[in-house]
A and B are shown apart, each in its own frame.
Chain A
Amino acid sequence: MNPAYSVIFFTTASGAGYGLLAWLVALAVIGDAPAPGEIPWTWLAAHAVAFVLVSAGLLASTAHLGHPERAWRAFSQWRTSWLSREGVLAVLTFLPWLLHVAAGAGFGASGRGLTLVAGAAAAGGALATVWCTGMIYQSLPTIRAWHQPLVAPIYVLLSLATGGVLALAGLAWFGAATPWAAGLVIVLVALSGALKMRYWRQVDTAGRSYTAGAATGLGRYGAVRVLDPPHTQANFVMREMGFVVARKHARRLRRLAALLLFVAPLACLAALVGTMAVASPPVASGGPGMAPVAAASLALLATVCGVVVERWLFFAEAQHVVTLFYGADRA
């Protein structure tokens, strides 16, 4: 499949934004309510980052539309379409999200109940939106690499993992990272890494059951070879669905994605926990020490690069059944 940059940006940016939202809600649940009159500026700034990521991603996702001005129509078919469900949930999630932020910032302890209820609804909506994104791909029987039960779970886990690394980096920059927060993010990064490895194994070992013979119905007469193509230049079908990255490059890029998205962040986060163990309690004056900030920032940088490579590969490695008509022997 053609890896469209707008879709890669949308799924990675909005995914991380929704993951960050879920983590911020979790932090609000665990943390104390702000004192009356005190405005939690860093918490608000973190929500602003999540909001920008989610909104920029959603806006970018309309960039590949032929008629972006008609995008509102996509809210109508939630009964059958995962794309429509994604759109509906994305918009609905903004309501409890704004309520959560307003209540958390404005009402202090008196709005605690509202903050938590709205926060739970916002976090739930965020993860459900990402689940729908995954299901758009997972529900297509025409693309074997996507029609796998792990696709949507991995989308949600990677959203939580990338958002978690982002949240942890923010905490580290303000000297507020705690070992258990880092531990939770480590668990999520490791879990998403393990599932992604398992997914790659499944995709590689699952039989490619569709053949050119089955697609044309001519397999009963023997091997089916292209004699004459139906058109001299690539048409829409070939441009959109004929793109498959060379296997040799895919192997290298998979290793790169695994290194950047899982191995490097895990190493950096382990180092982060290590620095906290050494310098606990955190450096009293002059903010956090350099080591935790560097470790968390490196983890974030690797994660950002890694998730982009992972998402590019998700599209570029996927082979569509229609390629069988154009000379692929199996799909």
Chain B
Amino acid sequence: MTALPQAAPNQKKLGLVIDLDTCVGCQACATSCKEWNDGGAASGPLTDVDPYGKDPYGPWLNRVHSYDVGEGDTSRTVHFPRSCLHCETPACVTVCPTGASYKRAEDGIVLVNPETCIGCKLCSWACPYGAREYDTSGGVMKKCTLCVDRIYNTHLEPQDRQPACVKACPTGARHFGDLGDADSAVSKLVRERGGFDLLPAIGYQPVNKYLPPRARRDVTTAAPSPVAAHDRPAPQPDGTPIERLFSWADRLLSR
């Protein structure tokens, strides 16, 4: 049913918190996502057409952009992973004519039922985040499942019951948890770091949050040192034999 489920009080809202400060743009989240979900029960296969040819084409559920932000000395590189934000009021669900696109009442995960999707692509038009990619070989829409086949999977060790992208991130830039629980680690992180929504004006109320890059701490932002380097007193010779040797060599070479 593509009508959205009624949000309960203390509604569980599983999602990701992505730290734009520590993301290094290594693509590990994107490739591990592709690998898990290609074989995964919830969304696979993610077939690539012409994978080793001139124009490879196929669905990926996570894409990592790299941006150059700001001007001159204060500009910075920001790597920006983009995937489904599992919105609270997603139009990709309500526009679906068949009920294949749905939002789970129990945890808020947005999924596509590949058995009933007709591949009309309207959901991809409704998504401002480009989170849905059409699978030409399967004729159905594919999207991030929040690794629903990992996070509840009792065949996996408890520490592995996390989305593949979170497990793969080498810098710990991706955090998974319940954003509906104000006391969860991810909710605290969002509060402490000023986590924000993408395109809030569209009104879909994304669950996933992004943490902004921290303020720079380098030569462009550091307060000027009280004594500039060239004003510091030059070190005085202390008269040891090795230093006298170097002074002699210095004089000899300076002639």
Interface residues of A (CB under 8 A from B): 1, 64-68, 70-71, 73-77, 79-84, 87, 136, 139-143, 209-210, 214-218, 220-231, 233-237, 240-241, 320-322, 325
Contacts and interface: CB of A to CB of B under 8 A. Distances in A.
27 contacts: A65-B120, A67-B118, A76-B98, A77-B3, A79-B3, A81-B95, A84-B98, A140-B126, A210-B201, A215-B198, A216-B78, A217-B212, A218-B20, A218-B80, A218-B213, A222-B74, A225-B67, A225-B68, A226-B65, A227-B77, A229-B65, A230-B82, A234-B57, A235-B60, A236-B133, A236-B134, A240-B124
B97 A241 contact: no
A216 B85 CA distance: 13
B24 to A, nearest CB: 12
B70 interface: yes
Interface string B75-114: 1111010100000000100111111100000000000000
B122 A214 contact: no
B199 A223 contact: no
A222 B71 contact: yes
Interface of B: 1-3, 20, 25, 30, 55-57, 59-60, 63-71, 74-78, 80, 82, 91, 94-100, 116-122, 124-130, 133-136, 138-140, 196-199, 201-203, 210, 212-213
Contact of A66 (B140, B197, B199, B203): B140
Pick the 10 closest A-B CB pairs, nearest first.
A66-B119, A66-B139, A222-B70, A228-B66, A74-B97, A84-B97, A230-B63, A73-B98, A322-B130, A237-B130
A77 B99 contact: yes
B69 A214 contact: no
Nearest to B66: A228
A236 B140 contact: no
B128 A322 contact: yes
Contacts of A74: 97-98, 118, 120
Given A77-B99, A216-B198, A320-B125, A228 B118 contact: no
Given A210-B199, A230-B63, A237-B124, A80 B3 contact: yes
Contacts of A322: 127-130
A66 B76 CA distance: 42
Contact of B116 (A73, A224, A227, A320): A73
Contacts of B121: 64, 240
Contact of A141 (B20, B30, B91, B196): B91
Contacts of A80: 2-3, 94-95
